[in-house]
């Protein structure tokens, strides 16, 4: 099949799921990843034939089943860097890039500070911080061995040194007796009751371990991380969280109760309460 005909097939068969713009950008990602053909080449040579149609037609079927293109390709971009992803890790979100920007604004790049990312998943936060703070010692933990495996590959891919640790934060109060200057986390925070608001591409493909918490214990991970911080965050150290947009007030309450100061709640580009920071007294 001609490349242009395949693009038309994508547009017809996916139009009930995506907008035309989305279909085109997905198509460009796929031809680049599978055939090293750029969108410019496609525009210049629409009559071009692909060697083997199978990978792209196979991808079309997976897209129809709501599989995210990032999992089909096996990689995505975050903070200007490439990250491998698979079903064991969440696809990094643009909101989380905003969290990284916020941390970088407050991290002293001249000092050898120690940073910990809790629930690192693909390693997106830890690796991008390490890339931008070459003097920092970055640690990252996760309960999932499969996620750590992916995160380690992403550290290698981006040529940074991150120390990865397999640990369940719900059962841990310190790591190697270290004190951290910054602790950052994007833990699971979607309540079971919010499942019905979620799209099937997320719900049926992304790891529930990384997404969901019980309705009656929605702040479980934040409580555990705050507890961990009592022991393991240095005085004047900063705690940064990505949060559930509906739980900003509760998060302020929780941090206040635990004696954190200089609290700041921050919205993401979609104007949702999405991040919070506090300083340990």
Residues contributing to the site for ligand GLN (CB under 6 A): 93, 186-190, 202, 211
* Beta carbon of residue 155, minimum distance to ligand GLN (angstroms, whole number): 20
C-beta of 96 vs 130, nearer to ligand GLN:
96
Q: Give 147's contacts (C-beta < 8 A, 6+ positions apart).
A: 88, 89, 120, 121, 122, 207, 210
* Beta carbon of residue 187, minimum distance to ligand GLN (angstroms, whole number): 6
User: Measuring CA to CA, which residue among 69, 42, 46, 47 is closest to residue 58?
Assistant: 69
Q: Give 49's contacts (C-beta < 8 A, 6+ positions apart).
A: 1, 2, 3
* Beta carbon of residue 189, minimum distance to ligand GLN (angstroms, whole number): 4
C-beta of 29 vs 247, nearer to ligand GLN:
247
* Beta carbon of residue 157, minimum distance to ligand GLN (angstroms, whole number): 22
C-beta of 202 vs 279, nearer to ligand GLN:
202
* Beta carbon of residue 68, minimum distance to ligand GLN (angstroms, whole number): 11
The answer to whether the beta carbons of residues 100 and 112 sit under 8 Å apart is no
C-beta of 68 vs 188, nearer to ligand GLN:
188
C-beta of 92 vs 237, nearer to ligand GLN:
92
* Beta carbon of residue 56, minimum distance to ligand GLN (angstroms, whole number): 28
Q: How many CA atoms are closer than 13 Å to the CA of 114, on its beta-carbon side?
A: 15
Distance, in Å, from the CA atom of 155 to the CA atom of 215, rounded to the nearest integer, reads: 34
Distance, in Å, from the CA atom of 53 to the CA atom of 33, rounded to the nearest integer, reads: 14
Helix, strand, coil percentages for the chain (3-state, nearest 5): 45, 20, 30
Distance, in Å, from the CA atom of 75 to the CA atom of 178, rounded to the nearest integer, reads: 33
C-beta of 30 vs 243, nearer to ligand GLN:
243
């Amino acid at each position: 099949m001609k490349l242009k005909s395949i693009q038309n097939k994508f547009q017809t068969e996916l139009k009930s799921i995506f907008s035309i713009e989305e279909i085109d950008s997905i198509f460009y990602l796929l031809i680049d990843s599978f055939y090293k053909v750029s969108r410019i080449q496609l525009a210049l040579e629409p009559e071009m034939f692909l060697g083997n149609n199978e990978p792209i037609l196979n991808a079309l079927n997976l897209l129809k089943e709501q599989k995210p293109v990032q999992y089909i390709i096996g990689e995505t971009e975050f903070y200007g860097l490439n990250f491998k992803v698979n079903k064991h890790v969440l696809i990094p979100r643009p909101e989380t890039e905003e969290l990284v920007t916020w941390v970088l604004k407050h991290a002293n790049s001249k000092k050898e500070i120690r940073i910990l990312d809790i629930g690192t998943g693909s390693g997106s936060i830890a690796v991008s911080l390490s890339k931008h703070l070459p003097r920092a010692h970055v640690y990252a933990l996760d309960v999932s061995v499969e996620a750590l495996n992916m995160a380690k590959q992403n550290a290698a891919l981006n040529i940074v040194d991150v120390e990865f640790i397999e640990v369940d934060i719900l059962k841990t109060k310190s790591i190697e007796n270290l004190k951290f200057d910054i602790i950052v986390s994007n833990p699971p925070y979607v309540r079971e009751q919010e499942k019905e608001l979620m799209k099937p591409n997320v719900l049926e493909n992304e790891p529930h371990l990384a997404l969901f918490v019980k309705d009656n214990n929605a702040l479980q991970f934040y409580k555990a991380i705050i507890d961990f911080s009592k022991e393991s965050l240095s005085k004047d150290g900063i705690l940064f969280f990505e949060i559930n947009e509906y739980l900003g007030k509760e998060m302020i309450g929780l941090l206040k109760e635990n004696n954190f100061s200089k609290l700041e709640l921050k919205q993401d580009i979609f104007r949702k309460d999405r991040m919070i920071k506090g300083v340990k007294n």
